[in-house]
Structure 1
Amino acid sequence: MQRRTVLKTLAAVLPGLYIKKVSQPFNLFSSLGQELTENGPFKPTWGSLGNYQVPDWFRDAKFGIWAHWGPQCEPERGDWYARGMYEEGSDQYKYHCEKYGHPSKFGFKDVINIWKAENWNPEALVALYKKAGAKYFMALANHHDNFDLFDSSYQSWNSTRIGPKKDLIAGWAKAAKNNNLHFGVSVHAAHAWSWYETAQRADTRGPLKGVPYDGKVNKREGVGKWWEGYDPQMDLYAQNHPLSKDSLNNGSIHRQWNWGNGVTPPSAPYTEKFYKRTIELINKYHPELVYFDDTVLPYYPINDVGVRIAAHLYNKTIKDNGQLTGVVTGKILDAQQRKCMIWDIERGQSNEIVPSPWQTDTCIGNWHYDRRLFDNDGYKSAKTVIHTLIDVVSKNGNLMLNIPVRGDGTIDDKERAIVESIGEWMKINGEAIYATRPWISFGEGPALVSASPLRAQGFNEGKGKPLGPKDYRFTCKGPILYAFMFGWPDDATAFIKKLAKGPLVGEIKSIRLLGSNQTIQFEQKDTGLKINLPQQEALLNAFVFKIEGAIV
């Protein structure tokens, strides 16, 4: 194809991409020749993806840590800041006006510009997470704010050109490799199209009533400004389209997450640009895991962008590693879709053993850093995280835990203390977590009565009764059964009904409390297993019995 023809095609597909004033050349042709592994065993169809087998590394890892970090962490005011700052009267709108100025004068593009990530040390953070027991690490590659945190050939608004002037994904990927952790990326930018519609608004009252926010500021208006040559409307906010139905209702975005219920359909150039950005991300940084914050997959069911990306990742990891090591996650999956990828549950967990491996993603605070949680001791405790991990693993799941990163690239001392406490527990009890599989039952206890059902993509976290000393969960590894106890009973006695000797439970030969050298006295009755606990040692958060003989 001649260069002129290529340019005409690209001008139609990627309008407004030409950059007039840049510090580095923007080589649009740098990734046009990137290889698509279309000749691999996986084709971009649901039928072909149904042959997927979850890699052993993911099944065995159980615990990952996530850096959900980008320019929305710079204000330190919580999640979805780039949307909330344009919602008149909201907490984030008020905060933004006080700290930065009115969103017609200082928009989110300007927040990106002042974000410098000046104290970011990915090697130190990832090393800390490895010490905490994480077996894989995931970094945010872009959020709904549409800003790529890597050297992107297809998105001029990226962290190598604006803000930090650093390739953040490259830094995270190198640190993960140096620490021998599997590397993943999370991709959220598919929804910028509708998510940023709040940036098209204007105040309905006050001295700036009717003055538009900066959602439709275009390249022509950047002459002489710091963003000269860049197009906020087209390339960052993606707002050169009519508002979706009921767009002025701030909650409507949730009903339209599956690209239905009146959302303005995204254009073909917009979705194809997302595809090219994501393929380049995979090819350049070699993640084994790609997390999508989407109902099923990006742009499902309106086009095949998502299945094309999934097939490419699977085929690429086969080519690179000699076997399938790729993992793709999605939310709200039906039975067939769960055969094609990993079901991800946001801020919640299953109430039963799931036949296929799955994942919970949650956070000790807000997804984006919120200073108020530090000031008001609002983080989840290490105990809560550990209890969640145990419950998830007992039901065939993995836990992906976000530790919010401050705008400057650091975590605060309270977060560090939580991470270190998790690591101390994992050092003693990790054998009951890693490379285990569910037993015939995930557990028992009074907390089961109040377990909350899933809502939408999850959100049943913390809705039921907390796990306590009469609650138990199980995992197994070969002939060994592990029984987790979530508190130390006042009577120093554990009684586990499901370990009564019977057709599904063998005669127990020995029991050891992990982290203790004391002898454990027990009696296996027809009604259950009675364990006389030793003198309580300096063990915290949850207790693990290593049991031999129970598995038949």
Structure 2
Amino acid sequence: MRKLLMLLSGAIMAFSTASAQEKMPPYIPETDKAVLQKLDEWSDWKFGMLIHWGTYSELGIVESWSICPEDEGWTQRQPYGIPYYEYVKKYEALKSQFNPTKFNPEKWAKAAKGAGMQYVVFTTKHHDGFCMFDTKQTDYRVTAPDCPFSKDPRSNIAKEVFEAFRKEGVHAGAYFSKPDWHCQDYWWNYFPPKDRHVNYDITKYPDRWKKYKEYTYNQIEELMSDYGKIDILWLDGGWVRPRKQSEKKAADITAAETDGRPLKQDEDIDMAGIAAMARKHQPGLIVVDRDVHGPFENYRTPEQQIPAKPLDYPWETCMTMANSWSYVPNDTYKPVEKIIHNLVDIVAKGGNYLLNVGPGPDGQLHDEAYTTMTAIGEWMNVNGEAIYATKSVAPYKDGKVCFTRKKNGNVYAIYLLDKGEKLPATISFSGLKPAKGAKLTMLGAKNKLSWKVIGDGTQISIPAALQKKDWKCAVAIQIPAVE
């Protein structure tokens, strides 16, 4: 029954995701030439690392959400039944024990580079408001005197991460949460928080909201001006966005939205001002105002999902390498085959793949994170040519074969191998035909492959010598020209 429910849940989620994509407002293209150039470069990178890390790693629990009073189930407070304010006090006291003395961003960066990742997005601040950088706007930060790691010469964690990854040639992106549940100008302790939204009436206390906007602006300006070259500003907390107050009932903060979720207040954070300031410091900066479909969502970010078909705008699937976004002891990691298949599927549909890891309280990644990245890198060293700087090409997928195309016209037919599967004697697909006389080769092998057209499809013969080799995850066949 559990397996059946999981299958049904997956099918419903896939259907819901496809339906949501169809209902999305139109993508608004960027007009800034420098940003367009950077977006074009980013679309060639294809594969990146997302890092969720904060004091929540001390408890080995889901990031931030346990202090939000929404009944999510997966965010239960520990121990169960602990009074809310007692728990928040305990949670915020984690700052006084956060001391990741084994923090080694160079090791992370080398592993990411070895896996073929070309950009990193690091959580400078999650929704709980704890800052992993040396902000001057709050004492709730890793460099504050009452945080033991502040005595470490590498206490400005975000800066160390960005520098380590840039030294490896990996582009830097800053994750930043627009909501801040620690800040008195977002969750004012005069009122109890009810959910993830601002907990006071902005129309009654406009000066408090103005202070919060300034606080957010100032923190982002610190990140954009004091932390070297930043390529991506990845903003989370999409519920912080403009809303028409005319749609809200008088004195009611919980009128119904069309999607069934409560309609909240006009949490306009002034994205126009933030983006202009950020790009003044970082020309060409990609701004990703997640789930706020408008001019400041330069690319879209389906979470833990892969779209059913190619999308006609820039996009990136963000997904966990294990089960959780943040560190959980004994977390279960996805098989390398699954990750490679996801990467091929995403790239064949024109997207990028942002794969998440969560460091532990000591600053180390799970050993399995490293072995997984090593295995991914071994595959990418052979097949990266079929991944990087490619575009989607029709029919993008036929059965177990996915297709990508280089700007020079080369097409790659990538055959997805099941775990333990040997390379078959023939690989066939429909919808795409090599040009007459085209010489096909398999990446990682020198043999020329014979092929023939059968009806509207192509059949490629695989030499016996190649069938005997121990291929992992997938093989890529280069087709220099197609009809």
Q: Structure 1 residues 402, 490: closer, same or farther in 2, change over 3 A?
A: closer
Structure exhibiting the larger radius of gyration computed from Cα positions: 1
1:382-401 mapped onto 2 (5 Å cutoff)? 382-401=336-355
Q: 1:85 to 1:546 in 2, by over 3 A?
A: same
Q: Pick closer, same or farther for the CA change 1:105–1:423 going to 2, 3 Å.
A: closer
Partner of 2:225: 283
Question: 1:185 and 2:150 equivalent?
Answer: no
Provide the secondary structure at the position in 2 that maps to 1:328. strand
For 1:112-511, list aligned pairs within 5 A.
Answer: 112-161=95-144, 162-163=146-147, 164-165=149-150, 166-188=155-177, 190-193=178-181, 234=184, 238-243=187-192, 247=194, 253=196, 267-286=209-228, 287-295=230-238, 298-301=240-243, 302=266, 303-318=268-283, 324=284, 326-332=285-291, 334=293, 337=295, 341-365=298-322, 366-373=324-331, 378-445=332-399, 470-487=400-417, 488=421, 491-500=424-433, 506-507=435-436, 509-511=438-440
Q: RMSD of the TM alignment (CA)?
A: 3.3
Assess if the C-alpha contact under 8 Å between 1:85 and 1:103 holds in 2.
no
How far did 1:415 drift? 1.5
AA aligned opposite 2:180:
A
On the 8 A contact 1:363/1:403 being kept in 2, the answer is yes
User: Hey, what does 2:470 align to over in structure 1?
Assistant: 538
Q: Tell whether the 8 Å contact from 1:359 to 1:397 is kept in structure 2 after alignment.
A: yes
SS at match of 2:180: helix
Q: Which amino acid aligns with 1:369?
A: Y
Give the secondary-structure state (helix, strand or coil) at the position aligned to 1:344.
coil
For 1:331, the aligned partner's letter is: R
Query: Is residue 522–residue 529 contact of structure 1 (8 Å, CA) maintained in 2?
Result: yes
| 1:57 counterpart = 2:41 | yes
Partner of 1:523: 452
Which ranges of structure 1 fall in alignment gaps of 5 or more residues? 1-45, 194-231, 319-323, 446-469
Letter paired with 1:299: R
Query: 1:233 and 1:97, CA in 2 relative to 1: closer, same or farther beyond 3 A?
Result: farther
Structure 2: how far apart are the matches of 1:105 and 1:180?
Answer: 40
Paired position in structure 2 for 1:466: none
Letter in 1 for 2:304: R
Runs of 5+ in structure 2 lacking a partner? 1-26, 244-265
Retained in 1: the 8 A contact 2:443–2:477? yes
TM-superposed CA distance for 1:355, in Å, is: 2.8
Following the alignment from structure 1 to structure 2, what is the Cα–Cα distance between the partners of residues 496 and 519?
18
The answer to whether the 8 A contact 2:213-2:269 is kept is no
- What code does the residue aligned with 2:472 have? L
Distance 1:47 1:524 in 2: 42
2:50 matches 1:66: yes
In the alignment, what sits opposite 2:262?
A: none
AA matched with 2:172: F
d(CA) in 2 for partners of 1:532, 1:401: 34
**Distance change >3 Å, CA 439–CA 91, structure 1 → 2:** closer
Amino acid at match of 1:416: Y
Distance 1:306 1:241, change over 3 A: farther
Tell me the SS of whatever aligns to 2:271.
helix
Q: Secondary structure at the match of 1:483?
A: strand
Residues 204-243 of structure 1: CA distance to partner in whole angstroms, max 9, x if unpaired? Answer: xxxxxxxxxxxxxxxxxxxxxxxxxxxx7738x8432434
Aligned-partner SS, 1:103: helix
**Residue deviations 1:98-130, cap 9 Å, x none?**
9xx993595112112111111101112111111
Q: In structure 1, the residue corresponding to 2:427 is in which secondary structure?
A: strand
Q: CA deviation at 1:337?
A: 3.6
Would the aligned equivalents of 1:63 and 1:399 in 2 still touch at CA under 8 Å?
A: yes
8 Å Cα contact 1:484/1:545 also seen in 2? yes
Distance change in 2, residues 1:147/1:96 (3 Å): farther
Q: Distance in 2 between matches of 1:370 and 1:105?
A: 20
Cα deviation, 1:322-379, whole Å, max 9, x if unaligned, reads xx3x111133354x548x6111211112222223321111111211111141xxxx21
**2: CA distance, partners of 1:547 / 1:172:** 39
SS of 2:56 mapped into structure 1: helix
Percent identity of equivalent pairs:
23
Amino acid paired to 2:92: K
Cα separation, 1, equivalents of 2:415 and 2:110:
29
Q: SS of the residue aligned with 2:86?
A: coil
Quote the Cα distance in structure 2 between the aligned partners of 1:299 and 1:352.
Answer: 28
Contact 2:344–2:402 (Cα < 8 Å) also in 1: no
Residue 271 and residue 544 in structure 1: after superposition, are their counterparts in 2 closer, same or farther (change >3 A)? same
How high is the TM-score relative to the length of structure 2? 0.77
- Could you tell me how far apart the structure 1 residues matched to 2:114 and 2:166 are? 15
Would you say the 8 A contact 2:233–2:288 is kept in 1?
yes
* Deviation readout 1:69-89 (Å, 9 max, x if unpaired): 111112113333542699799
For residue 345 of structure 2, give the secondary structure of its aligned residue in structure 1.
helix
